[in-house]
Structure 1
């Protein structure tokens, strides 16, 4: 069935906007070439998008032909302002950007070191408001929050967890009350995977699993270029995976005894100390025996992932993955090859500590474009 004229116009407009978003300013002739649309159709969509305030003339290009210069059209960057928050156990980082994703202001602050839930929430919200003011963003359109914990797939809310500070769950509700903006929340590991998929270590992959290795341990699953959440939003809760070498078995209320016990930040520090190393610099010391021991632990979890999903690629992220870098990734891949017949490449994060915040900004930009683009 052929699309109706209005549907066809909406599809063409969105295609043009995506091209302008991804490639930057274009002339009408370039839009015609890239979209395959006729010249009159492109002229009509440029007029519609200009009248809607989404596109404007940003310059001229005279390189295509002789005669008058051609107008260059680009997205109106300040049509919407966006914010991204990376919420950790004891800190918050904030970035404010325009619709093109250009960073306008950013800030970080410790949060939650005593004082109760209310003051912690107020400190986080105030940090966002102050950063938005610094960016010249009088009104935020979309705010994306990255936080540890499970996200309910039906409500989109951060689920209650005994391992998370109470202010984490309160923060989103207060942001919705205080700001005239669309506020959404996503698991931090999932956001890191989105950022690595689109801008980082997995840009050339349709299938991969990101292992988040920090104070907590988790994973994000990307198959066919799409983030997979699972029936309850818990796909990738690899910290609960029963593995050998732990004190027992994990439970429904705690991951002690699971993969978490082997590779969380505390376990990595203890392993470094057992090798006579200062935990603060062990991952960058190049100490072979320590890195090999850690790689063997990480390979156990990676082998389980490979056996179930066969993603072909595992990205090591979080504090441990970032600090261990390419050397740790290579050792994990070597250890993994001895545990699994499936060829699995192991890569270090390309975005490091910025992955969650970048993923949150991409999520906010996508949501804003869905709302603004016809």
Structure 2
């Protein structure tokens, strides 16, 4: 059944606006070429979108040799502002952009554990207000849509952040407080790892994939699953709660209210910092488990040399390959190579000795591969992206090590890639979702 004239116009308008969003300013001729629509149809939609205040003439192409230059049309970017929030356990970050994604203002504020619930909420909301005010001073419009990324489960039926054990109570209150302070804005919340995956798919390490898994490595750990182009949330919104995955190498099992004993105990920031200490690598001048762990991994990559050798890790007789030899005292990351450590299975040979940093990366890769292998066995995603600040800090050196171990553990071919966006992925994902929600409304011109 053919579409009605009004439906056809709406489809054509949205197609043109999407192209202007992706490509920037275009002439009517370029819109005709990219859409495949007839010249009269393009002329009608340009007139309609201009009258609706969605697009405007922003310049001239300057490409024609005879006659007047063709007009360039672009989206009226300041028609509305969008805000993206990244809520962490001890901080909040926010950025405000126009409709085409140009960042107008941004900021962050620490929220210490000593702050009460009400004070934490007020600090975060005040940050949003200050940032929105700066954006307005830079020529932005009213705040139309707010996208929030937060740890924890989001109820798939209500879209609300669930009361999750181990997360600050102010997280749940903040969403309602932002809506109360900005009653005209559309406020939505999504799991932080899911937003990071959407950003990596659109702008980062999974741009060419419609099926992949993002493993978030930061203060805690989590996974986002994208299958056949769609983000999968699960019946209760808990798809990817990989921190609760029972794994070997932990002192016990996780419980329904505590992921200690699960995969979290191997790869969360505190566990990585402890592992580095076992190898004699100590953080200097950093506070907070997340930043310290990311800095340790980044310095270890640099200390191991560019790219870092993939060394499976030698198991001392009766010992643990993740623990340095007796007598090796702690030191700061980036030091000299240890003599006598081969970093290979079996007895020492004539291969170059592995550095302390390389041995630490080997041990960390072994831990990460345990969870990745479980995900691959169930989902067969073809690609796993190591995200979060720690995944980005490990870069190709860590990703290559994990992939090498995965090949020994699984018959399913899987690429392991480092995040391109790192810790910024949550904000980017929140901004992308806010922009799409705003466009659903603003880019639907009323019938004239």
What TM bracket, shorter-length normalisation? over 0.9
The question of 1:339 aligning with 2:409 is answered yes
Q: Which moved more, 1:105-114 or 1:82-91?
A: 105-114
Q: 2:364 aligns with which of 275, 280, 294?
A: 294
Q: How many residues align?
A: 374
Q: Distance in 2 between matches of 1:77 and 1:139?
A: 12
> 1:8 — aligned with what?
8
The question of 1:31 aligning with 2:31 is answered yes
Q: Residues 211-251 of structure 1: CA distance to partner in whole angstroms, max 9, x if unpaired?
A: 01111110000111221111111111111111111112112
> 1:328 — aligned with what?
398
The question of 1:277 aligning with 2:281 is answered yes
> 1:93 — aligned with what?
93
Deviation at 1:328, TM superposition (A): 0.5
Any idea what SS the aligned residue of 2:20 has? helix
The question of 1:228 aligning with 2:242 is answered no
Q: Distance in 1 between matches of 2:110 and 2:89?
A: 9
Any idea what SS the aligned residue of 1:135 has? helix
> 2:169 — aligned with what?
166
**Does the 8 Å CA contact 2:79/2:141 hold for their aligned counterparts?**
no
| Change in 2 beyond 3 A, CA 1:64/1:228 | farther
Any stretches of 5+ residues in structure 2 without a counterpart?
284-291, 305-356
Deviation at 1:112, TM superposition (A): 4.0
Any idea what SS the aligned residue of 1:118 has? helix
Deviation at 1:64, TM superposition (A): 4.4
TM-score, normalised relative to structure 2? 0.82
> 1:83 — aligned with what?
83
Q: Distance in 2 between matches of 1:352 and 1:314?
A: 14
Q: Distance in 2 between matches of 1:145 and 1:356?
A: 9
Q: Distance in 2 between matches of 1:282 and 1:190?
A: 26
Please tell me the root mean square deviation across aligned C-alpha atoms, in Å.
Answer: 1.1
Q: Residues 298-334 of structure 1: CA distance to partner in whole angstroms, max 9, x if unpaired?
A: 0011111111111110000112212111100110001
Q: Distance in 1 between matches of 2:63 and 2:389?
A: 47
Structure number with greater Rg is 2
**Does the 8 Å CA contact 2:217/2:391 hold for their aligned counterparts?**
yes
> 2:209 — aligned with what?
205
Any idea what SS the aligned residue of 2:413 has? coil
Q: Residues 168-192 of structure 1: CA distance to partner in whole angstroms, max 9, x if unpaired?
A: 0000101111102000101100111
Q: Distance in 1 between matches of 2:209 and 2:86?
A: 25
Any idea what SS the aligned residue of 2:100 has? coil
Any stretches of 5+ residues in structure 1 without a counterpart?
none
TM-score, normalised relative to structure 1? 0.98
> 2:264 — aligned with what?
260
